[in-house]
Structure 1
Amino acid sequence: MTVPTPRCVIVRHGQTEWSKSGQYTGLTDLPLTEFGVNQMLRTGESIFRNQFINPDNITYIFTSPRTRARQTIELVLKPLTEEQRSKIHVVVDEDLREWEYGDYEGLLTKEIIELRKSRGLDKDRKWNIWRDGCENGETTQQIGLRLSRVISRIQNLHRKHQAEGIASDIMVFAHGHALRYFAALWFKLGVEKQCETEQELANANSYNDDSVPYIALKNYRHLIDNPSFLLDAGGIGVLSYSHHNIDEPALELAGAFISPPPPEEESQHGQL
């Protein structure tokens, strides 16, 4: 082993007016608040100045197309030199958009619960977005499918970079529900479903970058319950692999705020 184990660093966009108020923000394209801008400037200074993330190890950034995510990238990367930024592939991927909330866009959770009650729903059990999805928005199967596609692309790149001996941190900039869902699928929570329908088998053409191979899925995963993860606006998490093995995706509990050790100093845990 000559390079660090690949990592996927997830970053939720900085504060917006609706993330502050708790309103569900899917397709609505809001900018960051002044606090959110300063929040992400401080985050970029911290993670790069202290080498929590080595900018020379960043191979790709995958981002939601929403303004709040792309604005966050610019702020976080501000400490980097122009040369360092030029070496990072930035891939705008529609599959990383936030959950499409449909009728619940702009509402608070308590308002969604009241709306569903007025429509005669949830008489036998409480609404659970991770299981029940959103009226006139996305089901949990739909968001699970598209996030499974993103994960397959990133893990394929990690596998390629590891084989080539290239250090590879891939950063993902997106949203609260989408990134918590993404993290849960990363280490295989939820249930697996075979791709059978036209939508499941289709190439969604969600990004435009020839350096990122398209991966045709045979199966995908989706959630049926809350994974009980928190990721506030501006939050960062780190996903990686056990035993330096791309087939063993795992949550790196230490997070981005502990600098990864040199490869020769990494723990060599045995197979369990």
Structure 2
Amino acid sequence: MGSQPTPRCIIVRHGQTEWSKSGQYTGLTDLPLTEFGVGQMRRTGQAIFGYKFIDPSHITYIFTSPRKRARQTVDLVLETVPAQLKKNIRIVVDEDIREWEYGDYEGLLTSEIVSLRKSRGLDQECPWNIWRDGCENGETTQEVGLRLSRAIARVQNLHRKHQEEGIPSDIMVFAHGHALRYFAALWFKMGVEVPCDGKDPIPATYNDPTVPYVPLTTFRHLIDNPNFLLDAGGIGVLSYSHHSIEEPALTLAGSFVCPPEEESQHGDVKLA
């Protein structure tokens, strides 16, 4: 196992849109990238692959939100990847990693949401917290937590399989600001764990026979702000401690590409 890099989940927020620039909440509204956002993500792709921060031959899957801004970002980031390598990357469109559905708050600024809720007599005891309170006529935090827990279970199951087969496996997830910060928090088990209680039927959220559905008996959801930042076009790296899929962790610092002999300080790798 020490001869192979530990699997990673690389999260990428889509590039700039008009609403990400203005701060408007963008859930189901299907906006394209701005001209700046297009150039932003082209430069990102050139940097991460040109400097081998990510080896494209190690990418096994890309999961993307169905929204135009996420799928456009995938295409732009992969532009410099050679065709013979790109054809080996399976791209899976997955509804489970779409952005939070904001309901009545779609297109509003945070200040406008706070004023709207105040006019409706809400938040008299404590300020609005989307991670706890969700959105009126949109998704609750429990609903977002369930679908992102499903997505994480599938990614980690693929990582486990690839690790057993000795295959380097970087899986990239292209999505949105709230969804990816939530995803990262659940990756290393923030929030609370609750039973599914029959809430987890097999969902038709993606269509790829090579990605096994992983049934859940429990899932996690947040009850407070994880206090993560991820700007438009931002990238984060999630991985595992001690080379163990059972120990998901956040890569906070250090070199973006860590050779296996350096990883050994975190595990039980026997070096010759």
TM-score (norm 2): 0.96
Partner of residue 267, structure 1: 264
Query: Superposition pairs for residues 93-172 of structure 1, below 5 Å?
Result: 93-172=94-173
- 1:11 and 1:270 map into 2 onto residues whose CA distance is 27
Asked if 1:202 is matched to 2:196, the reply is: no
Amino acid at match of 2:107: G
Of 82-91 and 163-172, the range deviating more from structure 2? 82-91
Please show how residues 1-272 of structure 1 align to structure 2 within 5 Å: 1=1, 2-197=3-198, 200-254=199-253, 258-269=255-266
Q: Distance in 1 between matches of 2:200 and 2:149?
A: 13
5+ long unaligned stretches in structure 2: none
SS in 1 for 2:203: coil
Provide closer, same or farther for how the CA distance between residues 156 and 224 of structure 1 changes in structure 2, counting only shifts above 3 A: same
Large movers: runs of 4+ above 3 Å: none
Q: Alpha-carbon deviation of 1:84?
A: 1.1
Contact (CA 8 Å) 1:51, 1:259: kept in 2 or not? no
Deviations for 1:92-115, whole angstroms, at most 9, x for unmatched residues?
000010000000000000000010
SS at match of 2:49: helix
d(CA) in 1 for partners of 2:256 and 2:149?
28
Contact 2:159 2:169 in 1 (8 A): yes
Which secondary structure does the structure 2 equivalent of 1:59 belong to? strand
The alpha-carbon deviation at position 264 of structure 1 amounts to: 3.2
Q: Aligned AA for 1:163?
A: E
Higher mean C-alpha deviation, range 228-237 or range 259-268: 259-268
260-269 vs 113-122, which moves further:
260-269
Query: What's the Cα RMSD here?
Result: 1.1
Please list every run of 5 or more consecutive structure 1 residues that lacks an aligned counterpart in the other structure.
none
Taking every aligned residue pair, what percent have the same amino acid on both sides?
73
Q: Per the alignment, in what secondary structure is the counterpart of residue 266 of structure 1? A: helix
Q: Is this contact kept in 2: 1:6–1:167, CA < 8 A?
A: yes
Classify the secondary structure of the residue corresponding to 1:90: strand
